[in-house]
């Protein structure tokens, strides 16, 4: 069993600048909090990772993903809170005794060793019998399709092959928890897609707990059983890919998850005869029953709101929110229209249904959306109101 529990985990990096901070008056440097002790890179981090779960930590650069992973690995001291792996408190346990294996973005292979020696290295240190090492290395090489490269040195391999070796080196250790820090970031787009599929297959074969860090929302959505979205050292939302896509907790998550990005409008939330509706650009749309229920439960008052609608949920129609086409991008099965509307640059995905739709620059369009796909956010706090 390798359940991983992070309870109120915190990381503070001491730095000289932070000493200037007045006691009791935390300041902000960039978007991170600075206290007397230093820069607070991660705080209030609470997460219960089930045995064999695939968890992805995702967020923009600097949000604290790697720091969190490195605290789990034991490569970074934990400043506060508790980390347990398989029920054991790990805060002060050496990395080698945590039953984890980590794969880095940089591969971190030993250049003077062959692929075989790289993969066998940790097992030799553990003083495993030679034939057992051989069996484990060959099994992992088979899984990763690198058997033919076992005698090569890393410099004679492509980036994708090197990353497979790095993963192989982790597999042979048969860890209870697999930690991966942006393992695909150094690969080109095509190879990254391939390796993403490989990681999904790998996960099927080696049934263990995965904690995976990436800044790429597509990787997060496709790989994670659940994803943890972070910003400025804080968790913003934890949920399945579908949950965070359908019910983003706030504007940040709404904008971060989904490609192309969700459109945002200034709108009004109204309530008449107990029914909620949103009004934007002279168009009023009643919200779905499910959203009505949630808004009513929270007794949300009529107010100015930020309305979010995903590009594939906006539809062209005869009469709706008026806009002017700025750019029309032909994507094959659809056209991405960039439309100036309500003072925003709005993206609408229009399916071509085989026939290339034609929207010259300057075309006037009308857009509408359904009451089930409208997301309503608090204008001040950015919190999802429904
Ligand atoms: P991410 O992985 O999300 O890009 P990191 O966890 O690497 O973010 O970093 C989080 C924050 O902590 C960043 O602001 C970064 O500059 C800071 N940080 C990371 N490592 C150190 C360090 N060794 N000393 C001081 N600050 C650091």
Q: In CATH, what is the architecture of 260-378? A: Beta Barrel (2.40)
104 lines ligand 1 (CB under 6 A): no
What is the number of the ligand 1 atom nearest to the C-alpha of 66?
A: 2
pTM of the complete model: 0.92
In the predicted structure, residue 227 carries a pLDDT above the cut 90: yes
Q: What is the ipTM of this complex?
A: 0.99
Ligand 1 and 66: CB distance under 6 A: yes
Contact 229, 258 (CB under 8 A): no
Give pLDDT, residue 186: 85
C-alpha dist (Å) from residue 331 to 194, 255, 334, 337, 353:
21, 21, 5, 10, 12
Q: Which two tokens stand for residue 307?
A: 């309305």
Q: Read off the pLDDT of residues 70-113 as tens digits, 9 standing for 90 and up.
A: 999 999 999 999 999 999 999 999 999 999 999 998 888 999 99
Residue 384 contacts residue 287 (beta carbons within 8 Å): no
- The pLDDT mean for the chain works out to 92
Q: Express each pLDDT in 5-39 by its tens digit.
A: 999 999 999 975 544 445 555 555 568 888 888 89
Percent of residues, the chain, with pLDDT higher than 70: 95
Which residue's CA is the nearest one to ligand 1's atom 17?
A: 41
Query: How far apart (Å, rounded) are the C-alpha atoms in residues 303 and 283?
Result: 16
CATH architecture of 4-99+175-255: 3-Layer(aba) Sandwich (3.40)
Nearest CA to ligand 1 atom 13: 62
Tens of pLDDT, residue by residue over 165-211, are 999 999 999 999 999 999 998 888 888 898 899 899 989 888 899 99
Atom number, ligand 1, closest to the C-alpha of residue 39 = 26
Is any atom of ligand 1 closer than 6 Å to the C-beta of 273? no
Looking at per-residue pLDDT, the higher value among 27 and 131 belongs to: 131
CA of 203 to the centre of ligand 1 (A): 28
Compute the distance from residue 12 Cα to the ligand 1 centre, in Å.
10
Range scoring the smallest mean pLDDT among 122-126, 312-316, 352-356, 363-367: 352-356
For the Cβ of 70 lying below 6 angstroms from any atom of ligand 1, the answer is no
**For 191-202, how does the pLDDT look when each residue is reduced to its tens digit (9 = 90+)?**
889 889 989 998
Does residue 221 carry a pLDDT above 70?
yes
CA of 220 to the centre of ligand 1 (A): 20
Give the pLDDT confidence of 245-295 residue by residue, as tens digits.
999 999 999 999 999 999 999 999 999 999 999 999 999 999 999 999 999
> How far does the centroid of ligand 1 lie from the alpha carbon of residue 64, in Å?
6
Residue 357 reports pLDDT greater than 90: no
Query: Which numbered atom of ligand 1 lies nearest the CA of 233?
Result: 10
What residue spans define the domains of the chain?
Answer: 4-99+175-255, 260-378
Residue minimizing CA distance to atom 20 of ligand 1: 67
Between the CA of 241 and the centroid of ligand 1 the distance, in Å, is 26
| DSSP string computed for 181-248 | ESTTTTS-HHHHHHHHHHHHHHHHHS--EEEEEES-HHHHHHH-SEEEEEETTEEEEEE-HHHHHHS-
């Amino acid at each position: 069993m390798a359940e991983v529990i992070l309870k109120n985990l915190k990381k503070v990096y001491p730095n000289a600048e932070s000493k200037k901070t007045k006691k009791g008056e935390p300041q902000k440097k960039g978007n991170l909090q600075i206290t007397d002790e230093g820069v607070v890179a991660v705080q209030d981090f609470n997460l219960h990772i089930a045995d064999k779960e695939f968890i992805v930590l995702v967020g923009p650069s600097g949000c604290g993903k790697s720091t969190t992973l490195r605290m789990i690995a034991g490569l970074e001291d934990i400043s506060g809170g508790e980390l347990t792996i398989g029920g054991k408190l790990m805060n002060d346990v050496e990395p080698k005794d945590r039953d984890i294996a980590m794969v880095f973005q940089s591969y971190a292979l030993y250049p003077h060793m062959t692929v075989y020696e790289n993969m066998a290295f940790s097992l030799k240190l553990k003083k495993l019998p030679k034939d057992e090492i051989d069996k484990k290395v060959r099994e992992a090489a088979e899984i990763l399709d690198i058997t033919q490269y076992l005698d090569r040195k890393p410099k004679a391999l492509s980036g994708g092959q090197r990353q497979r070796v790095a993963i192989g080196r982790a597999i042979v250790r048969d860890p209870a928890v697999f930690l991966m820090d942006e393992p695909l970031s150094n690969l080109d787009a095509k190879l990254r897609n391939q390796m993403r599929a490989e990681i999904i297959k790998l996960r099927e074969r080696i049934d263990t707990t995965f904690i995976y860090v990436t800044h790429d929302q597509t990787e997060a959505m496709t790989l994670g059983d659940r994803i943890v979205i972070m910003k400025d050292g804080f968790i913003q939302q934890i949920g399945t890919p579908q949950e965070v896509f359908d019910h983003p907790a706030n504007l940040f998550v709404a904008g971060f998850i989904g490609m192309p990005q969700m459109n945002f409008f200034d709108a009004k939330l109204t309530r008449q005869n107990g029914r909620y509706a949103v009004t934007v650009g002279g168009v009023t749309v009643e919200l779905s029953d499910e959203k009505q229920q949630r808004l009513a439960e929270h007794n949300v008052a009529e107010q100015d709101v930020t309305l979010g609608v995903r590009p594939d949920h906006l539809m062209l129609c005869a009469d709706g929110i008026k806009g002017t086409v700025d750019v029309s991008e032909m994507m094959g099965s659809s056209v991405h229209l960039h439309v100036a509307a309500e003072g925003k640059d709005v993206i609408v995905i229009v399916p071509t249904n085989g026939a290339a739709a034609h929207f010259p620059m300057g075309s006037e369009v009308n857009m509408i959306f359904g009451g089930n796909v409208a997301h309503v956010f608090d204008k001040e706090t950015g919190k999802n109101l429904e």
